[in-house]
Each structure stands twice: as structure tokens, then as C-alpha cells.
Amino acid sequence: MLEEVDNDIRFAKAALSEKDFQRLSNFVQNEVGIKMPPAKKTMLEARLQRRLRTLQMRSFTDYCNFVFSPAGFESEIVHLIDAITTNKTDFFREPQHFEYLVNKALPELIRTHNVGTRRKLMLWSAGCSTGEEPYTLAMVLSEFQEKSGLDFMIIATDISTKVLDKAKAAIYEEERVIPVPNNMKKKYLLRSKDKSKALVRIIPELRELIKFRRLNFMDSDFGFREPMDIIFCRNVVIYFDKKTQETLLNAFSRYLVKGGYLFMGHSETLNGLNVPFVQVAPTIYRLPYGR
């Protein structure tokens, strides 16, 4: 036991050198697109300490050598990405987006594209994290469906397998679902039988409406065979540099129907980017016809 404690102390004191930080940050930006400026060195060091302890490595140099070896590249990249990605999300985050979706975007797409009748509405939650966004969308669309008969499918993707596992499980602490309206809590949430755990789970009927899968925005082909009508990609591109943002947003435009909608985060803007979208509301964009 004492030896384990001593090992933990040695691993916890491991320092990330400038050389090793550059190796890791260059890889993360090239492989995942996420900017890793010098200001994030302390954050990266702290987040990877657990991986060093798990792998029983005493230095970040050992860790880098492992990551960039054939065996390490195969097994460790997923853990590295899980460690460095930020996964801040909430149910009904930026509620004005859902109001616009119901009052403007969906009626317009039904009118112009016959979605929900001749074919399913296709919606993509890009960077879905632990699932709060796609489950919010499933609740909102299910409510809309009761009035309109709208048929829909939600695709939810993220690069982190850890958050995708949590999203698929659909189990959340009660405090996480506080933003969910009471009428939706009653319809779409199941409380744990063990009251001491204070947990809820999304009902099976709602979980079945969402297809989760891993996707790296740096991939040349996202694998979608049907065009999307709506893309939610909120508070994701802020972590990319301008060139990567343009590449990604232009890729989005190729997967979006003409007249389709793109919802961005409150801290993101397309100003100054060479992309084909036009703004229709704050942080809401549309792909014009005829492009």
C-alpha cells in the first residue's frame, strides 16, 4: 500500500516539458483540429496525469513515446482525446434556439421541403457530448410531432467515446435536468427506484429516436448518406483555428440541404469566414438556395 502511494506521488509530480507539449499539441491540432496554444499547457498536464498513473509511467516523455509508437497509437489515442476534449453542456442550453426551431425553422422546412410527410426530418447534433443536447432536441421534436405528425431522426456524434457511452446510457443526476420543463420531466424522464441516488433516465421511446456514433471532424467523409435538414453545432468550432473552422463549416454545407439550418453557440460567429451561410437570427444560419 505504501509503495502504491509513493508511486502516485511520483506520477503526480511529473512535469510536461515544452518539447513534449509541442509534440502533443501539434498532434491534437492535426488529428482532431483543436487548438492547443501555450496557455493550455497547464490544463493538458493536469488532465493527462491520470493517464500517466493508469499506465504507470513516471514522465510525459515516456507517455509521448508510447502515444506515438504503433501500439500506443492504436490503443491510447482514444484516451488522449477523451482527456483533452471539453464537454460542457446542459439540457435546454440557449433556449432561444429551440423556440426558433419550433416557431420558424420546422414550419419553413415542412412548407418548402415536405419534411415529416414524404421523408423524415434529419437533424444532426454535431459534438453532442454527454447527450443533453440531442435528448433536448428529441423532447422538443416529440412535442412538435404531437401537433404536426412530424417524422424525424436525430444523429448525434462526438469524437470522445467516454461521453458517447454516457450519452447512450442516458442516466443523469437530478440536478442536471433542472432546466427541463416540468411537463416534459413527467413524460420523458424515469426516476431511479433508489431514491438515495437522485438519478433519472431518459425513457426508452426517446432514446430510440437518436443514433449515436463516433465522428472526427477531421475525417474527409462523415459517412452520411442522406442530407441533413438541420445541424446543431454549438460551442464546438470555438476550439478550432480559423482555417479549420472554414474547412469544417464548408463540409457542413455539403451535408446540409439547400435552405437547411445551422445553429451555432452564443460565443461563435461566422463573421470573416469564407463560408456559404447567411444569418437569419443571432447565432442561427441558413444555407441559401442556388449555391
- Active site residue ranges: 47, 158
CA angle 94, 97, 98 (to 5 degrees): 105
CA 164 vs. chain centroid, Å, equals 9
Q: How far apart are CA 36 and CA 237, in angstroms?
A: 13
Distance CA 206, CA 184 (A): 11
Instruction: Give the dihedral sign, CA 51/57/60/63.
Output: negative
| Strand 152-158 to 256-264 pairing | unpaired
> What is the amino acid identity at position 32?
V
What does the alpha-carbon distance between residue 164 and residue 127 come to, in Å, rounded to a whole number? Answer: 10
- Which helix H or strand E contains 199, and what residues bound it? strand 199-202
